Amino acid sequence: MEALKTDWLSSRGTAISVIILAVVWTQFGYGMLVYLAGMSSISPSVFEASKIDGANWFQRFVHVILPMLIRTTEFLVILNTIFVFTSLFDYIYTITRGGPGYDTMPINYWIYMKAFRSNEMGFACALALVLFGILLIISLIQRKIVNKADDWGE
């Protein structure tokens, strides 16, 4: 029975897997709620028209629901990207504290360690500005991709 025991937080691959599982488990409900709100904003007449036109459930999903939820998807992608870069601190601090070694240390935990453990406020501030710049660039790229995809649909 001893052979079946696994120390989930002692190796890099399993520690990251545990953190990913915890994040997905806690964020799944929020994403579902946002998608349900987006779907409730779609007029029922659109679904009725697609049924009358002879579309099956898969065709309605691909050609009616997904295009109408593109802005909702864009919102969630940008929000989750920002979440991954800024809000993983809670999970990392409580689950692994950046370990094993430095394998699960994201930039926001590094900022915390530099500011409050090493008392290097200037370096931590510089890291925070780098994080802001990275998030700004990624968000702008995501917006450009979604707007380009939106232009193709017209």
pLDDT tens by residue, 17-73: 888 899 889 889 999 999 999 999 988 898 889 889 888 989 988 988 898 998 898
Count of domains observed in the chain: 1
Structure-model confidence comparison of residues 104 and 21, the more confident one: 21
Does residue 3 sit within a domain? no
For residue 15, count other CB atoms closer than 10 A to its CB.
Answer: 22
**Distance in angstroms (rounded) separating the CA atoms of residues 70 and 68:** 6
Domain CATH number, residue 110: 1.10.3720.10
Residue 149 clears pLDDT 80, i.e. is over it: no
b or e along 109-130 (b: 16 or more beta carbons within 10 Å of the residue's beta carbon)? bbbbbbbeeeeeeeebeebbee
pTM of the model: 0.71
Q: Are 64 and 77 in contact (CB under 8 A)?
A: no
Q: Which helix (H) or strand (E) holds 7?
A: none
Structure-model confidence comparison of residues 143 and 4, the more confident one: 143
35: containing domain: 12-153
Q: Are 75 and 30 in contact (CB under 8 A)?
A: no
